[in-house]
Chain A
């Protein structure tokens, strides 16, 4: 009886919300995820360019092939992750009303997504650097849309 009454009171008690955050409905977005992934793409691209076999013997070539494959796999994965994070910002966070402030919004995201693909299909440092620049531009658009001026800081 008392327990039922207390339950009823607590159920009606006005309460502020505490957020168990997830990506999407909670409305919490941050271009940092795309930035970290894009940095990984650039890092792996540089490592691939610098990679060479220690010798021509079987063991050296096996080691080289193994490392090369791993680096490519990570570059592929991080490129895809960058694209996914950018698409979330583009399609979920940005709204039609942002177009008046950022008329090149669609073009910026479209080109950034294309760069993610370019980084997958080739080992091209200039493309990876272009991707970082594109993510930085999106970072600036994102935070200025929130009335903030968060500094662009990279991990590497």
Chain B
């Protein structure tokens, strides 16, 4: 599983492309800049995340995916975490850097309606 995750992660790290830029401009994809270190070593502070919004009727989330979610206590805050477990429509979200991450270990399972999107690309300067 670890190898699979690493390969999946590698696929996310890409060089900027015209299609993504157009996707952002027309609202087909969305972007966020990372603040914080809970996703080290894979995601660095300052990385630009490209994500697609989740369709509640048809979604393809699985263990290992990187997702954007609303913070369960501070709804206006968006957080980036990895899906650690899925129990029906509830998600155990964890940071890759457990020593510096506040996540489902404290909050418990996160409801599906708090999941905003799935990371599809990562751009790094």
Binding site for B on A (CB under 8 A): 2-3, 6-7, 9-11, 13, 15-23, 25-26, 28, 30, 32-33
Binding site for A on B (CB under 8 A): 15-18, 21, 24, 31-40, 43, 45, 48-49, 68, 71, 73-74, 77-80, 95, 97, 100-103, 106, 123, 125
A18 near B78 (CB under 8 angstroms)? yes
* Complex Cα–Cα for A42 and B88 (A): 33
Selected contact of A28 from candidates B15, B33, B102, CB within 8 Å: B102
* Complex Cα–Cα for A45 and B73 (A): 31
A20 near B31 (CB under 8 angstroms)? no
Selected contact of B38 from candidates A11, A13, A21, CB within 8 Å: A21
* Complex Cα–Cα for A15 and B50 (A): 11
A55: min CB distance to chain B, Å: 40
Nearest 7 Cβ contacts at the A-B interface: A20-B36, A6-B16, A22-B100, A18-B32, A15-B33, A20-B38, A20-B39
| Neighbouring A residues of B33 by C-beta, 8 Å | 15-18
* Complex Cα–Cα for A75 and B32 (A): 43
* Complex Cα–Cα for A22 and B71 (A): 12
Q: Specify the chain A residue showing the minimal Cβ separation from B21.
A: A6
Q: Specify the chain A residue showing the minimal Cβ separation from B73.
A: A30
| Neighbouring B residues of A3 by C-beta, 8 Å | 15-16
Q: Specify the chain B residue showing the minimal Cβ separation from A33.
A: B106
A37: min CB distance to chain B, Å: 11
A-B contact pairs, 11 of them (CB 8 A): A6-B15, A7-B15, A7-B125, A10-B16, A13-B24, A15-B32, A16-B33, A16-B78, A20-B37, A21-B103, A23-B102
Q: Specify the chain A residue showing the minimal Cβ separation from B39.
A: A20
Q: Specify the chain B residue showing the minimal Cβ separation from A25.
A: B36
| Neighbouring A residues of B101 by C-beta, 8 Å | 20-22
B48 near A21 (CB under 8 angstroms)? no
A20 near B106 (CB under 8 angstroms)? no
Q: A18-B49, A19-B35, A21-B36 are in contact. Are A28 and B74 (CB under 8 A)?
A: yes
Q: A11-B125, A28-B73 are in contact. Are A19 and B80 (CB under 8 A)?
A: yes
B6: min CB distance to chain A, Å: 19
